[in-house]
Amino acid sequence: MSMKSKCDQYDVAVKELFSLLDATEETDEGREFHPVRIVCCRNDITEKLENVLATLKSTMEDKG
């Protein structure tokens, strides 16, 4: 598999990941909520994860 093909697969996978993480639904009462959550009981890991996800998301948004 070529490097370009692997990069393309990576891009598709990351876009799909953020599509899942950014999913928004509406309750019967009309309130919006995000049903997908990543949970961690370690605050330092949660903060690092948030930073990594923010970096990945901004990278994907830059690519279009």
pLDDT in tens, 8-48: 999 999 999 999 999 999 999 999 999 999 999 999 999 99
- 61 occurs within a structural domain: yes
Q: Which domain holds residue 45?
A: 36-64
- Would you state the pLDDT for residue 61? 82
- 64 occurs within a structural domain: yes
Residue 4's pLDDT band (boundaries 50, 70, 90)? confident
- 18 occurs within a structural domain: no
- 47 occurs within a structural domain: yes
Interhelix angle 43-63/3-21, rounded to 10 degrees, is 120
**CA pair distance 37, 64, nearest whole angstrom:** 25
Number of structural domains (the chain) is: 1
- Supply 28's token pair: 């019967």
- 59 occurs within a structural domain: yes
**Residue 51 CA neighbour count, 13 Å, CB half:** 6
- Would you state the pLDDT for residue 63? 67
Q: Which of 20, 24, 2, 12 is nearest to 60 (CA)?
A: 12
